[in-house]
Amino acid sequence: MAARLSLNDVNLHFGGVKVLQEVGFEVEPGSILGLVGPNGAGKTSLFNCISGHYQPSSGSITIDGTEAIRRSPAHLARLGLSRTFQHPALQLRATVLENVLLGGHIRLPGGPLEWALGLPRTARAEREIRAEALAMLDGAGLGWAAGLPADELSHGLHKGIELWRALLSRPSLLLLDEPAAGLSHGEVEQLITTVKQVRDERDITIIVVEHHMGLISALTDRVVVLDHGRKLMEGTAAEAQSDPRVIEAYIGKDAADDAA
Ligand SMILES: Nc1ncnc2c1ncn2[C@@H]1O[C@H](COP(=O)(O)OP(=O)(O)OP(=O)(O)O)[C@@H](O)[C@H]1O
Ligand SMILES: [Mg+2]
């Protein structure tokens, strides 16, 4: 089931630095929300708060009504949350398949003791997850790369591995942090097709942070614009792109006045 995410009055302070201030919005189950804003606006920090990597100073973040603040990333993953990172976090010496399989670990039944004993139900689940990972790589035209060390692949393929790894956990809430960064035009088009397919075929809620406005326009139902840690506005991608406050945040007030 796709998750409903609610943020209320989220504040994140590091010492005296206010990284997020009074951020609040809702993400409807099954929708794609774009989170945009200039460099340093607080987008990745907000993802870190949702995924349990940062603890907000105050506020509330609920996933299907369950408070997510003060839960560990591992706990939130079990609640259905999965994410990719702005800078791909891969095991570069491990193979592409091994990297993708890390995402399936959460689906193994039982706990570490049972896994160590290699019980039949663990072995069966491992076979299923492995077959699904190989099918995903094949479907993406990456079957040839499954056995190669990840460090032999391009940056674009590293981004792909992160996405397949995140999907293998079968998340109900997926956070994508700049999935198009560093990709060629053709790779971005492929990414847009893939994410649309994921949305159509799976029951999933997605938040995507991106500077690539073409991708944001093509994929999102709504966007939230952050600036200096605050929510500047919320609406459709088209509304955001024509909003004077957003234009000013991106290019500065003087330039926005000149452009008017
Ligand atoms: N662990 C931390 N300690 C101190 N300051 C931090 C920490 N993490 C983030 N910040 C600060 O929070 C602000 C927002 O950073 P963040 O990485 O969230 O921005 P962003 O919107 O993701 O930017 P970009 O588009 O460049 O990725 C920055 O000023 C950053 O220096
Ligand atoms: Mg960032």
Q: Is 43 in the pocket of ligand 1 (CB under 6 A)?
A: yes
DSSP state of 143: G
Give the whole-angstrom CA distance, residue 192 versus residue 204. 16
Q: Check residue 257 and give its pLDDT.
A: 66
Asked whether residue 68 is assigned to any structural domain, the reply reads: yes
- 101 Cβ contact list (under 8 Å, min separation 6): 129, 130, 133, 165, 168
pLDDT in tens, 158-202: 999 999 999 999 999 999 999 999 999 999 999 999 999 999 999
**Sequence-distant (≥ 6) Cβ neighbours of residue 179 within 8 angstroms:** 84, 159, 162, 163, 191, 195, 208, 210, 215
One domain for residues 206 and 224: yes
Residue 238 shares a structural domain with residue 201: yes
Q: Could you tell me if 153 and 180 lie in one domain?
A: no
Query: Cβ(55) to ligand 1 under 6 A?
Result: no
Per-residue three-class SS string for 45-113: HHHHHHCCCCCCCEEEEEECCEECCCCCHHHHHHCCEEECCCCCCCCCCCEHHHHHHHHHHHHCCCCHH
Whether residue 41 has its Cβ less than 6 Å from ligand 1:
yes
175 in the same domain as 64: yes
Dist. CA 40 → ligand 1 center (Å):
5
Of 125, 150, 169, the last residue of a domain is 169
**146 and 176 belong to one structural domain:** no
Domain that residue 199 falls in: 1-80+171-260
The predicted pLDDT at position 136 comes to 93
CATH number of the CATH domain containing 183: 3.40.50.300
State in Å: Cα 75 to ligand 2 middle. Answer: 23
Q: What is the pLDDT of residue 259?
A: 60
**Closest to 213 in 3D by CA, of 182, 240, 173, 244:** 240
Residues 103, 76: Cα–Cα separation, whole Å? 14
What is the C-alpha to C-alpha distance for residues 145 and 112, in angstroms, rounded to an integer?
Answer: 30
Predicted structure pTM score: 0.94
For 116, residues 6+ apart whose C-beta sits below 8 A from its C-beta are none
**Residue 42 in contact with ligand 1 by CB distance below 6 A:** yes
Q: Report residue 153 as tokens.
A: 């692949």
Q: What percent of the chain has a predicted confidence (pLDDT) above 70?
A: 97
45 in contact with ligand 1, CB cutoff 6 A: yes
CA-CA distance, 41 to 58, in Å (whole number)?
18
> Are 182 and 75 within one domain?
yes
Taking 70 as the pLDDT cut, the residues of the chain under it are: 253-260
189 shares its domain with 66: yes
Residue 14 Cα: closest atom of ligand 1: 4
Cβ–ligand 1 distance for 144 under 6 Å, the answer no
Distance 209 CA to ligand 2 centre (A): 8
What is the whole-number distance in angstroms between the Cα of residue 29 and the centre of ligand 1?
27
Under a CB-based contact definition with an 8 Å cutoff, are residues 225 and 249 in contact?
yes
159 and 208 share a domain? Answer: no
Residues 108 and 164 in one domain: yes
From the number of C-beta atoms within 10 Å of its C-beta (0-12, 13-18, 19+), residue 98 rates as: middle
Tokens coding 142: 């990456």
- On whether both 75 and 110 belong to a single domain, the answer is no
Work out how many domains the chain is built from and give that number.
2
State whether 70 and 177 are in the same domain. Answer: yes
Q: Does residue 85 fall inside a structural domain?
A: no
Distance from Cα 87 to the centre of ligand 2, integer Å:
9
User: What is the reported pLDDT for 250?
Assistant: 86
230 CA distance to ligand 2 middle (Å): 15
Final residue of a domain: which of 169, 199, 225? 169
**What local confidence, expressed as pLDDT, does residue 162 receive?**
95
- Within a domain: residue 12? yes
Query: Can you list the alpha helix ranges (DSSP code H) found in 104-242?
Result: 112-117, 120-139, 155-168, 185-201, 213-219, 237-242
Instruction: Indicate which atom in ligand 1 lies nearest the CA of residue 229.
Output: 14
* Co-location of 99 and 228 in the same domain: no
Domain end residue (candidates: 109, 136, 169): 169
